[in-house]
Amino acid sequence: MASILRTSRTRPVWSALARARFSSTAPKNTTLKERLAELIPIELENVKRVRAEHGKKAFGPVIVDQLYGGMRGLPALIWDGSVLDADEGIRFRGKTIPECQELLPKAPGGEEPLPEGLFWLLVTGEIPTQEQVTELSKDWAARSAIPEFVEEILDRCPPTLHPMSQFSLAVTALNHNSAFAKAYQDGVSKKEYWGPTFEDSMDLIAKLPNIAGRIYRNVFGQGKLPAIDPAKDYSHNLATLLGFGDNHAFVELMRLYITIHSDHEGGNVSAHTGKLVGSALSDPFLAFAASLNGLAGPLHGLANQEVLTWLTKMQAKIGANASNEAVKEYVWATLKGGQVVPGYGHAVLRKTDPRYTAQREFALKHLPDDPLFKLVGQIYNIVPDILLEAGKAKNPWPNVDAHSGVLLTHYGMTQMQFYTVLFGVSRAFGVASQLIWDRALGAPLERPKSYSTQAIEKMFKDKA
């Protein structure tokens, strides 16, 4: 069955369909919401046709091990924004990371794609114009203020409360002003669900820099939060709120970071959690807060914090500029201690994560001589062989989290407990775009079947 889903080096099957019904560039003079309103009836027809043609066909066998094994490879969800190939990595609406870097609009003087453009691409499958991206930047800046009571919630959190818990609290509280929750209470028709879901999703993304900035400044004593500048793009504003707005390279890093962390198809914990909670018609704030709680786990988004903690402990133990032998010994000690090597391995990927490669290329351009970057490179030459020799991990190669913290540290953001918050800001782009489509296409409540071990035994005994 894995071969159905993980066709190495071939383009995912859906992209041909997507190309046929979505042109690759957005028509000019239309807003994102207007374009969506045009695309929704087309996609509704398309899904109707696919279901009529293929709805009753089997999509591969399910084996009992998948029930016990975290449902690896189980075909179970529709997720249109991105598809992950085990060997090639992520494609956003059919486009690889280098293609997005080339095709998406940039800021004046910038070389990295603007996440505004990536969001447009995730939602519509089209590359927006520079003007459309600028309009999105302005729209998000206009929506960026958070309610005073949410500011107070954050200000009252003890600095010892993990930034991800604070993030989740604040996003949950934004549900107070949810357009979807209000429309539902007012009896909105199912056909109209997508409109208020779109508004909430735009508000959610727009408000995240103010939440992230406030958490960063509160927890790490970085002074008062400056105001959002409506003339600046989303990443530039985020960098400013974090105190790095004057550093052009950091602003560029934020543009790249938010683009590449945004979406990783639908089965990962944060994406799936958001979709699952949204399927109960919980509004986008409640759904995305659930995503954040999943992202806060060390096997998922918290791995970027874990990598830095691990590297710091390694340096404390074996010193900077340690020999390959000393690094090898440290990696083996980690494994023998029953711990994972953070930043390595993946549930789907079987090659080096292209998100890792994109960050490595950024580092080669902007910080080639950084000692921690050199250590990351040294580890890359050591860890895969050790994981292969240890014989457990199915993928010995690095994932996105093996690299991100080193870049942030280079620019002075050394507070590793904050790193997953940035991942969360980005992940909202992917989760929100799918939530909009789920409501547009009338996606039902998720309710898969579970079994007890006793029931499984009985089923096979009865069949024997």
Q: With contacts defined by CB under 6 A, how many residues of the chain interact with ligand FAM?
A: 21
Give the residue, chosen from 113, 195, 278, 301, that forms a contact with ligand FAM under the rule CB under 6 A: 301
Task: State in angstroms the smallest separation of the CB of 25 from ligand FAM.
Answer: 31
Asked if 249 interacts with ligand FAM (CB under 6 A), we say: no
Asked if 299 interacts with ligand FAM (CB under 6 A), we say: yes
Asked if 333 interacts with ligand FAM (CB under 6 A), we say: no
Asked if 389 interacts with ligand FAM (CB under 6 A), we say: no
- Of the candidates 162, 264, 272, 300, the residue annotated as catalytic is 300
3-state secondary structure the chain: CHHHHCCCCCCCHHHHHHHHHCCCECCCCCCHHHHHHHHHHHHHHHHHHHHHHHCCCCCCCCCHHHHHCCCCCCCCCCCCCEEEECCCEEEECCECHHHHHHHCCECCCCCCECHHHHHHHHHHCCECCHHHHHHHHHHHHHCCCCCHHHHHHHHHCCCCCCHHHHHHHHHHHHHHHCHHHHHHHCCCCHHHCHHHHHHHHHHHHHHHHHHHHHHHHHHHCCCCCCCCCCCCCHHHHHHHHHCCCCCHHHHHHHHHHHHHHCCCCCCCHHHHHHHHHHHCCCCHHHHHHHHHHHHCCCCCCCHHHHHHHHHHHHHHHHCCCCCHHHHHHHHHHHHHCCCCCCCECCCCCCCCCHHHHHHHHHHHHHCCCCHHHHHHHHHHCCHHHHHHHHCCCCCCCECCHHHHHHHHHHCCCCCHHHHHHHHHHHHHHHHHHHHHHHHHCCCCCCCCCCCCHHHHHHHHHHHC
Verify whether residue 80 is a known catalytic residue: no
Closer Cβ to ligand FAM, 104 or 303, answer by number: 303
Verify whether residue 366 is a known catalytic residue: no
- When CB distances to ligand FAM are compared, the closest residue is 345
Asked if 300 interacts with ligand FAM (CB under 6 A), we say: yes
- Of the candidates 401, 403, 410, 438, the residue annotated as catalytic is 401
Give the residue, chosen from 80, 88, 233, 401, that forms a contact with ligand FAM under the rule CB under 6 A: 401
Asked if 341 interacts with ligand FAM (CB under 6 A), we say: yes
Asked if 240 interacts with ligand FAM (CB under 6 A), we say: no
Closer Cβ to ligand FAM, 35 or 427, answer by number: 427
Asked if 400 interacts with ligand FAM (CB under 6 A), we say: yes
Verify whether residue 229 is a known catalytic residue: no
Which residue ranges make up the site for ligand FAM (CB under 6 A)? 268, 299-301, 303, 335, 340-347, 392-395, 399-401
The residues assigned a catalytic role are: 300, 346, 401
